[in-house]
Amino acid sequence: MATTVQAMQIEDFGEPEVLQLVEVPVGEPGPGEIRIRHQACGLNFIDVYHRTGLYPNTLPLTLGLEGAGIVEAVGEGVTHLQVGDRAAYASQPPGAYSEARVMPAKCVVRLPDAIDFDTAAAMMLKGLTVQYLLKKTLPQGGLHPGDFVLFHAAAGGVGLIACQWARALGLQLIGTAGSDAKCQLAREHGAAHTINYTNEDFVARVKEITDGKGVKVVYDSIGKDTFERSLDCLRPFGLMVSFGASSGPVPPFPISMLAPKGSLYVTRATLFTHIATRESTQAMADELFEVVQSGAVTIRIDQRYALADAAQAHRDLETRQTTGSSVLIP
């Protein structure tokens, strides 16, 4: 095998231009590792945080946490994967923007034959995120058919999966998005109601839609621009799930603020807690594969880029030009 592969790497944190196509060495997997040859890599907003340095990493760094391909070599102690398996993952550490990589095996799962590589690369990180949000990050008493939830950026990669999965669970997802066209896309994918938060007051609209009661849970990946107003969309004892910072990090706030708003709960959730073990990763992936194979959730790939064009992919994602998922093809 070739001892070097092409990868999109950064040597400094910064604007998309810091992404450069380079040759990097790729070796043999050690204990608990595999080498995978990527057929497709996923693009995620967390890649932007890694590129800018918002989430710290050591440099130089090959970006990317999501991919799909063929297992080429298996290290000692790995029993759930074999050479030749079709496989996919969402996993730390970064390194998915490459033709091939050596990586920990515990977050890599075998891919059902019915799911193609592009779809897998478009859905692992985003779909597992929706699984833990809607199934495991719940308000007191859980969520039940008919319940309202507020989900920001509903036409994005995570968002369109959430719209469909929420519909399959019987939930009334109120989705926000940045344009009327994006709102329509979210409704077509199962959002019960949508709000264009660039020209509508989403707090007022949520109150209107819920007869003044508010929602049991808000899933907020926007961060700085929406956090405080999202709290005002909750009913008493409601749960605020902050899981991203597309507009910037949530500023510090006094915890006492949660009392007068109705004894609210707040969590800052991350997928990586949920996929810490092979068993939990496999269980979550099985649920994701099931909703995709049943047709309850379709994975929309609205943007495809050559791996070498990753900088353009980042520009499009950051300037809110994208909908659904994006993949990079090595």
Ligand X SMILES: NC(=O)c1ccc[n+]([C@@H]2O[C@H](COP(=O)([O-])OP(=O)(O)OC[C@H]3O[C@@H](n4cnc5c(N)ncnc54)[C@H](OP(=O)(O)O)[C@@H]3O)[C@@H](O)[C@H]2O)c1
Which residues of this chain interact with ligand X, rule CB under 6 A? 44-46, 125-126, 129, 153, 155-159, 177-178, 182, 221-222, 225, 243-247, 269-271, 317-318, 320, 322
Contact yes or no for 41/97 (Cβ under 8 A)? yes
Shortest distance in whole angstroms from residue 272 CB to ligand X:
7
For ligand X, the closer of residues 61 and 130 by Cβ is 130
Shortest distance in whole angstroms from residue 85 CB to ligand X:
25
For ligand X, the closer of residues 86 and 320 by Cβ is 320
For ligand X, the closer of residues 49 and 261 by Cβ is 49
Which two tokens mark 197? Answer: 């938060």
Shortest distance in whole angstroms from residue 254 CB to ligand X:
23
For ligand X, the closer of residues 117 and 151 by Cβ is 151
Shortest distance in whole angstroms from residue 149 CB to ligand X:
15
Residue 183's φ and ψ, nearest 5 degrees, are -60, -45
Shortest distance in whole angstroms from residue 276 CB to ligand X:
12
Shortest distance in whole angstroms from residue 29 CB to ligand X:
26
For ligand X, the closer of residues 235 and 309 by Cβ is 309
> DSSP string spanning 242-261?
E---TT-PPPP--GGGGTTT
Q: How many CB atoms lie within 10 A of CB 85?
A: 18
- Report d(CA 160, CA 145) in Å as an integer: 19
The residue written with tokens 């353009």 in the block is 312
For ligand X, the closer of residues 71 and 313 by Cβ is 313
Nearest CA to 182 out of 30, 6, 320 is that of 320
Q: How many CB atoms lie within 10 A of CB 231?
A: 21
Partners of 68 in beta bridges: 40, 88
What does the CA dihedral 3, 5, 8, 12 come to, rounded to 10 degrees? 20
For ligand X, the closer of residues 32 and 228 by Cβ is 228
Strand pairing report for 265-268 and 234-242: parallel
Q: Which residue is nearest to ligand X (CB)?
A: 156
CB burial of 281-319 (b: ≥16 within 10 Å; e: otherwise) equals bbebbebbbebbeeeebebbbbbbbebbbbbebbebbbe
Shortest distance in whole angstroms from residue 317 CB to ligand X:
6
Shortest distance in whole angstroms from residue 95 CB to ligand X:
17
The residue written with tokens 């090959």 in the block is 62
- Report d(CA 36, CA 71) in Å as an integer: 4
For ligand X, the closer of residues 33 and 45 by Cβ is 45
